[in-house]
Amino acid sequence: MPHVLISSKKCTGCHMCELACSAYHEGVYRPSVARLFAEVNPTSGAIKGHTCLQTACAKCQEACPNDAIVTKEITLTVKGEFAAKGKVGDSVKGYVLVVVDDLCTNCGECYDVCPTDVIHEHPTKEVAYKCDLCDGEPQCIAFCQNPHVLAVDLKIDKMDKTGRAPVEVG
């Protein structure tokens, strides 16, 4: 199942993906409200990427007591070589986990269980917010501007932890 992955080997820690994400979703260039991030150790230079693993993880969906995190169908295009296994340029059908604002009570159960620390309370709305793969054209991947080395890309995972059927979400 597709999810965004940051290559810790190729990532240079420029944070452009975070800027693209915050710009697309919140209309501001503010890494603190991005739905993914590259953690950079300033001394050793070590990089750790934090992205939503979507249905390969689904711990947030499992923890939610209100069924507010739903599975939605999505079609994406694979850009770079990274973990694409020959699918570059192909359209990939998969699933994405989406927060339904009307059902979310901001209880915080999902914040506690996320293994990659990428679901939080929205800066202005009292609901959870997370990566939604940008309706099929992930901006983080589009803006990883290092064309010689695409560090942010789609990983097509075989795993699917979601127990719930996909729904139509407006």
Partner 1 sequence: MLTDANLWAYEEGTPILVDPVNGGGALPTRHWSSGSFEQIENINSDAFQKIKTGNRACYQCAIGCRQFHEIGDVRGEGPEFETIALCGANCGIGDIEALMRFNAECDQWGLDTISTGSVVALAMDMDLQGIAEFGFRFGDESYVTAPALIAKREGVGADLALGARALAAKYGHPELAMEAKNLELPGYDPRGSFGMSLGYATSDRGGCHMRCYPVADEVIEGSQPPDTLEGAAARIIGGNIDNGAIGQNFSSVKFSGIWCDFWAINPSQIGQLLKHLWQRTVTDDEVMLLGERIWNLGRLLNLREGVEADTLPARLLEPAGAHRDGPAAGKAIGRAEFEAALQEFYQIRGWDENGVPSEAKLAELGVDVRL
Q: Does 145 bind partner 1 (CB under 8 A)?
A: yes
Q: How far is the CB of 14 from partner 1 (least distance, A)?
A: 4
Q: Quick one: which H or E segment has residue 111?
A: helix 109-113
Closer CB to partner 1, 50 or 164, in the complex: 50
Q: Does 106 bind partner 1 (CB under 8 A)?
A: no
From 70-78, 107-115, 120-128, 147-155, give the range in contact with partner 1 by CB under 8 A.
147-155
CA distance 71 to 26: 22
From 14-22, 60-68, 112-120, 162-170, give the range in contact with partner 1 by CB under 8 A.
14-22
Among 89, 124, 148, 170, binds partner 1 (CB under 8 A): 148
Q: Does 32 bind partner 1 (CB under 8 A)?
A: no
Q: Which residues bind partner 1 (CB under 8 A)?
A: 9, 12-16, 19, 40, 43-45, 145-149
